[in-house]
Amino acid sequence: MDSLKAGNPSVHTTCPYCGVGCGVVASPDTRQPVAGDAEHPANQGRLCVKGASLHETTGHEGRLLFPVIRGHRAGWDKAIEEVAKAIRSSMDAYGPESVAFYLSGQLLTEDYYVANKLAKGFIRTPNVDTNSRLCMSSAVAAHKRAFGADVVPGCYEDLELADLLVLAGSNAAWAHPVLYQRMKTAAREGRRVVVIDPRRTATSELADLHLPLRPGTDTVLFNGLLGWLADGDGLDQAYIDHHCQGFGEALASARAAAPDVASVAKQCDLPRQDVETFYRWFTSTPRTVTAFSQGINQSVAGTDKGNAIINCHLATGRVGKPGAGPFSLTGQPNAMGGREVGGLANTLAAHMDYDSPDSRSKVAGFWGTSSVADGPGLKAVDMFEAVHRGDIRVLWIMGTNPAVSLPDSTRVREALALCPTVIVSDCVSQTDTTAHADILLPAAGWGEKDGTVTNSERRISRQRSFLPLPAEVKPDWWIVSSVAGKLGFAEAFDYDRPADIFREHAALSAHENGGERIFNLAGLAGLTDTGYDALEPVQWPVLSGAGATGSSRLFTDGRFVTDDHRARFVAINTILPEQKACDGYPMVVNTGRIRDQWHTMTRTASAPRLLAHRSEPFIEVHPHDMARLKLLEGHLGRLTLKNDHFVGRVRSSGEQRPGEVFIPIHWNRQFASSAVATVLTESVTDPVSGQPEAKHGRASLTPFRASWHGRLLVRRNRPRRWLADYWCHVPLHHCDSWWIAGGQPVQWQGAVSDWLGGAAHVVMADPAQGCFRAARIINGQLEAVLMVDHDPARIPKAGWLDDCFSEPELSESSRRTLLAARDVDVEDPGAIICSCFQVGERQIGAAIADGVESVQGLGDLLRCGTNCGSCIPELRNLIDGSVGERV
Ligand SMILES: Nc1nc2c(c(=O)[nH]1)N[C@H]1C(S)=C(S)[C@@H](COP(=O)(O)OP(=O)(O)OC[C@H]3O[C@@H](n4cnc5c(=O)[nH]c(N)nc54)[C@H](O)[C@@H]3O)O[C@H]1N2
Ligand SMILES: Nc1nc2c(c(=O)[nH]1)N[C@H]1C(S)=C(S)[C@@H](COP(=O)(O)OP(=O)(O)OC[C@H]3O[C@@H](n4cnc5c(=O)[nH]c(N)nc54)[C@H](O)[C@@H]3O)O[C@H]1N2
Ligand code: SF4
Ligand SMILES: [Mo]
CATH value at residue 271: 3.40.228.10
Helical spans, DSSP H, in 269-358: 272-284, 294-297, 302-315, 335-341
Of the bound ligands, which one is closest to the alpha carbon of residue 175?
1
In 445-570, alpha helices (H): 476-484, 498-510, 529-533
What span, in angstroms and rounded, lies between the C-alpha atoms of 832 and 852?
18
pLDDT digits (tens, 9 = 90+) for 297-348: 999 999 999 999 999 999 999 999 999 999 999 999 999 999 999 999 999 9
Report which of residues 118 and 840 the model is more confident about.
118
Of 579, 871, 874, 655, nearest to 210 by C-alpha is 655
Residues with CB under 6 A from ligand 3: 15, 17-18, 20-22, 43, 47-48, 50-51, 176-178
- Quick one: pLDDT at residue 767? 87
Within a domain: residue 510?
Answer: no
Q: Which of 660, 680, 703 is the last residue of a domain?
A: 703
236 and 384 part of one domain: no
Coil/strand/helix, residue 239:
helix
The span from the CA of 240 to the CA of 190, in Å, is 28
Categorise residue 320: left if φ over 0, alpha if ψ from -120 to 50, beta otherwise: left
- 368, with CB counted inside 10 A (0-12, 13-18, 19+), is exposed
User: Is residue 215 lining ligand 1, measured as CB closer than 6 Å?
Assistant: yes
List the strands of the sheet with 35-36, edge to edge: 11-14, 23-26, 35-36
Predicted confidence at residue 189, as pLDDT, reads 95
**Residue 48 CA, closest ligand 3 atom number:** 2
741 and 809: one domain? yes
The residue-averaged pLDDT of 231-239 equals 96
CA 620: distance to chain centroid?
19
Question: How far, in Å, from the CA of 647 to the mean position of ligand 3?
Answer: 29
Instruction: Please indicate, yes or no, if residue 53 is contained in any of the structural domains.
Output: yes
Q: What is the C-alpha to C-alpha distance for residues 296 and 747, in angstroms, rounded to an integer? A: 51
765 SS3 class: strand
What is the atom index within ligand 1 of the atom nearest the CA of 665? 7
Q: Pocket residues for ligand 2 (CB within 6 Å)?
A: 104, 106-107, 131, 134-135, 294, 298, 331-332, 398-402, 404-405, 425-428, 431, 443, 445, 449, 476, 591-592, 599-600, 602, 665, 677-678, 681, 694
Q: Ligand 2, closest atom to CA 591?
A: 8
Please report whether residue 397 resides in a domain.
yes
709's CB contacts (< 8 A; 6+ apart) are: 635, 636, 739, 740, 741, 788, 789, 790, 791, 792, 795
326: Cβ below 6 Å to ligand 1?
no
Q: Which of 66-80, 263-277, 607-621, 825-839 has the lowest mean pLDDT?
A: 825-839
Q: pLDDT by residue (tens digit) across 245-279? A: 999 999 999 999 999 999 999 999 999 999 999 99
Name the domain count of the chain.
6
Residue whose CA is at the smallest distance from ligand 1 atom 1: 595
Q: Which ligand minimizes its atom distance to the CA of 36?
A: 3
Q: Quick one: 131 and 141 in the same domain?
A: no
The atom of ligand 1 lying closest to the CA of 599 is 7
Q: Are residues 694 and 716 in the same domain?
A: no
Q: Which amino acid is at 854?
A: S
* Residue 8 in this model has a pLDDT that exceeds 80: no
User: So what's the pLDDT on residue 603?
Assistant: 92
Is 870 near ligand 1, meaning CB less than 6 Å away?
Answer: no
Query: Is 743 within a domain?
Result: yes
If asked whether residues 21 and 79 sit together in one domain, one would say no
552 inside domain: no
Burial call 394-428: b when 16+ CB within 10 Å, e when fewer: bbbbbbbbbbbbbbbbebbbebbeebbbbbbbbbb
Mean per-residue pLDDT of the chain: 94
| pLDDT value for 822 | 75
Same domain, 602 and 662: yes
Q: Is the pLDDT of residue 756 over 60?
A: yes
| Cβ atoms of 540 and 551 closer than 8 Å | yes
**Helix axis angle, 855-862 relative to 872-880, nearest 10°?**
110
- Judged against a pLDDT cut of 70, whether residue 882 lies above it is answered with no
Atom of ligand 2 nearest to the CA of 593: 7
Contact between 661 and 681 under an 8 Å Cβ cutoff? The reply is no
Q: Given the CA of residue 431, which atom of ligand 2 is nearest to it?
A: 44
Domain of 848: which CATH number?
1.10.10.1100
CA of 594 to the centre of ligand 1 (A): 9
List the CATH number of the domain containing 102.
3.40.50.740
CATH number assigned to the domain comprising residue 33: 3.30.200.210
Confidence of residue 619 (pLDDT cuts 50, 70, 90): very high
Q: What is the mean pLDDT of residues 71-89?
A: 98
Residue in 200, 655, 695 to alter for ligand 1 test, most ligand atoms within 8 A of Cβ? 695
Gap from CA of 694 to ligand 2 centroid (Å)? 14
Residue 7 lies inside a defined structural domain of this protein: yes
Among protein residues, the one with the nearest Cα to ligand 2's atom 39 is 399
Tell me the CATH number at 595.
2.40.40.20
Contacts of 557 (CB under 8 A, 6+ apart): none
| Domain end call among 477, 497, 517 | 497
* Stretch 33-40: mean pLDDT: 96
**Residue scoring higher pLDDT (792 or 826):** 792
Instruction: Indicate which residue's Cα is closest to atom 23 of ligand 1.
Output: 592
Q: Which of 703, 728, 753 finishes a domain?
A: 703
Q: Is there a cis peptide before residue 541, judged by omega within 30 degrees of 0?
A: yes
Which atom of ligand 2 is least distant from the CA of 406? Answer: 47
Q: Which residues in 609-695 belong to E strands, given as ranges?
A: 618-621, 636-641, 644-652, 660-664
Mean pLDDT, range 50-64, rounded to an integer: 94
683-700: b (≥16 Cβ within 10 Å) or e: bbbbebbbbbbbbbbbbe
Helix/strand/coil for 321? strand
- For residue 541, tell me if it sits in a domain: no
Report the chain's terminal Cα–Cα distance, integer Å. 45
CB atoms within 10 A of CB 519: 23
Which residues sit opposite 763 in a β-bridge?
774
Residue 3 binned pLDDT confidence (cut-offs 50, 70, 90): very low
- Give the ligand at the shortest distance from the Cα of 428: 2
Residues 479 and 607 in one domain: no
Q: What is the pLDDT of residue 624?
A: 97
Torsions phi, psi of 46, nearest 5? -75, 155
Instruction: Answer yes or no: do 802 and 872 share one domain.
Output: no
Same domain, 598 and 682: yes
- Measure 224 CA to ligand 2 centroid, in angstroms: 35
Domain identity same for 252 and 274: yes
Task: Answer whether residue 551 is part of any domain.
Answer: no
Residue 429 bridge partners (DSSP)? none
State residue 867's pLDDT score. 84
Task: Identify which ligand lies nearest to the alpha carbon of 601.
Answer: 2
**pTM, whole model, 2 decimals?**
0.94
Is the same domain home to 37 and 99? no
Question: Is residue 886 over pLDDT 60?
Answer: no
> pLDDT tens-digit profile of 415-446?
999 999 999 999 999 999 999 999 999 999 99
Å from CA of 13 to ligand 4 middle: 21
Domain membership of residue 401 as a residue range: 68-135+334-497
DSSP lists the bridge partners of residue 424 as 397, 440
The pLDDT tens digits of the residues spanning 812-829 come to 888 888 888 776 666 678
Task: Give the Cα separation of 320 and 157 in Å (integer).
Answer: 12
Q: How confident is the model at residue 1 (pLDDT cuts 50, 70, 90)?
A: very low
Question: For residue 887, what pLDDT is reported?
Answer: 28
Same domain, 125 and 215: no
By mean pLDDT, which of 233-247, 276-290, 467-481, 765-779 is the weakest?
Answer: 765-779
